[in-house]
Structure 1
Amino acid sequence: MFTGIIESVGQVESVQPLGGDIRLRIRTALDLSDVHLGDSIATNGICLTVIDWGADWYSADVSRESLNRTTLAQWKVGQLVNVEKAMLPTTRFGGHIVSGHVDDVGEISVVRHDARSLYFEVTAPIALAKYLAEKGSITVDGVSLTINHLRGHILSLNLIPHTAERTNIQTWKVGTKVNLEVDILARYIERLLLGDRAAETSPESKLSMDFLAQNGFLK
């Protein structure tokens, strides 16, 4: 688990094709002195397992599932990425619960200054819209952020200068693809509301406004 509070910005040092997937090497100023084989490090919001590391770098194997569900397949050498080690029981919990399991890819659609803050709009896939809530949490490239406003599947974000300076957000521009992870609680609430119907094999969610009304959740 992670908190979405970025600890360092790393840089992609190598992307090595390997047996149908890839091996990734990231150089970072993150303190890796307490890292062990098999530890998790969120890299642009993707939970990666450390298979090798040194004083200022770590390597991880990336599965085809991760390549298909994230922006990772488009990463190039030199690209900046947000880095966070897995949280400890004693960690200050400054963000929200982040699993590092990316749901889908969104796209930056608006970028502008708002006083000293940066204002962004992100177009999320329509399938994720039901998991988004105004003033709720979302993880964008591993950063825990608050959805300020919501129009359908387009969400707006305001980022203070500190967040922009300590992450790769300064590289975002219109058209940039970003990894999105919805609040983990929304996923489980959906399954709970489905009740016994959750066991059905249809890949499509059966949670709808009609379903909620029929089961007493709406008046």
Structure 2
Amino acid sequence: MFTGIVTGTGTVTDVTSDADGRRLTIEAEGFGPFEHGESIAVNGVCLTVEEYGSDWFSVFTASETLDKTTFEQVSTGWTVNLERPLAADGRFDGHVVQGHVDTTTTVEEIEQVGEDWTFTFAQPAGYEGYIASKGSVTIDGVSLTVADIDDTAGTFDIAIIPTTYAETRFGEYAVGDRVNLEVDVIAKYVKRLASQGDLS
């Protein structure tokens, strides 16, 4: 389990593709040490370390992951957000993040407001019911609070503070960029129970 509190970034230094998926090599100086088989959330996707060195590691993204995430467009030079799973005695600062990306969405607008930024994202079809004002979402692995929703426009807003802007991929986004989205797992269970008639 993750919390969406990104603790570092890395740079994709190599990408190889085959019929089964894509293998990424990520340079992440200061983020190690690494272990074979450990889980790391890369742009919000829980991936397994295959090979590693003192300041790099490689992961494999299967075809199903490529279908639901932005990893089919990742290329060398990309910056990626990184987070290790929450330790049993760790501080829980974000929200429950599984590292199971649900879908992708697009950046619709970016506006600087004083020292902060407002990012507007499209509400992906079929996921509108999981996005609630003041609720939690995960974008490229970052735990965020929904500031506002415009159902008419089919968008939602996220307020980004300077630290998040500077220390994650948010400082690199442009309008039209696709990002990974994981909705709140609690919202998924609530909707599932409601659809089964178990909630009044």
Task: Tell me the TM-score range normalised by the shorter chain.
Answer: over 0.9
User: Which secondary structure state, in structure 1, belongs to the residue aligned with residue 127 of structure 2?
Assistant: helix
TM-score by length of 1: 0.86
- How big is the shift at 1:193? 2.2
Residue deviations 1:63-102, cap 9 Å, x none? 1000000000001100111011111112111110101110
Contact 1:13 1:25 in 2 (8 A): yes
Identity of aligned residues (%): 37
Residue of structure 2 in register with 1:200 after alignment: none
Greater share of residues in helix: 1
Contact 1:7 1:30 in 2 (8 A): no
Runs ≥4 in structure 1, deviation > 3 angstroms?
none
Question: How far off is 1:117 after superposition?
Answer: 0.2
Cα drift, residue 36 of structure 1: 2.2
* Count of aligned pairs: 198
Query: Cα 1:216–1:160, aligned 2, differ >3 Å: closer, same or farther?
Result: closer
> Structure 2 counterpart of 1:38, which letter?
G
Secondary structure of 1:11's match?
strand
- 2:83 partner SS: strand
Structure 1 position 176 matched with structure 2 position 177: yes
Task: Tell me: CA distance 1:133–1:30, structure 2 relative to 1, closer, same or farther (3 Å).
Answer: farther
Cα RMSD after superposing both structures: 1.4
Where 2:171 maps in the other structure, the secondary structure is helix
1:113-167 Cα deviation digits (max 9, x unpaired)? 0110011100021211011110000000100000000112411011110111110
Check if 1:93 corresponds to 2:92: yes
- Report if the CA contact (8 A) 2:8-2:31 is conserved: no
Structure 2 partner of 1:202: none
In structure 1, the residue matched to 2:5 is 5
User: Which residue of 1 is the match for residue 46 of structure 2?
Assistant: 47
SS at match of 1:127: coil
Please report the TM-score for the alignment, with normalisation by the length of structure 2.
Answer: 0.94
Q: Which runs of 5+ in 2 are unaligned?
A: none
Rounded to whole Å, the distance in 1 between the matches of 2:19 and 2:104 is: 25
Q: Please give the alpha-carbon distance, in whole angstroms, between the structure 2 residues aligned to 1:75 and 1:130.
A: 29
What CA distance in whole angstroms lies between the structure 2 residues aligned with 1:29 and 1:118?
28
Report the Cα offset of residue 31 of structure 1.
2.6
Q: CA deviation at 1:30?
A: 4.1
Map 1:178-217 onto structure 2 (within 5 A).
178-195=179-196, 217=200
The structure with more strand, counted as a fraction of residues: 2
- Rg: which structure is higher? 1
Alignment-mate amino acid for residue 65 of structure 1: E
Matched, 1:164 2:169: no
1:147 is matched by which residue type in structure 2? V
In structure 1, stretches of 5+ residues that fail to align are 196-211
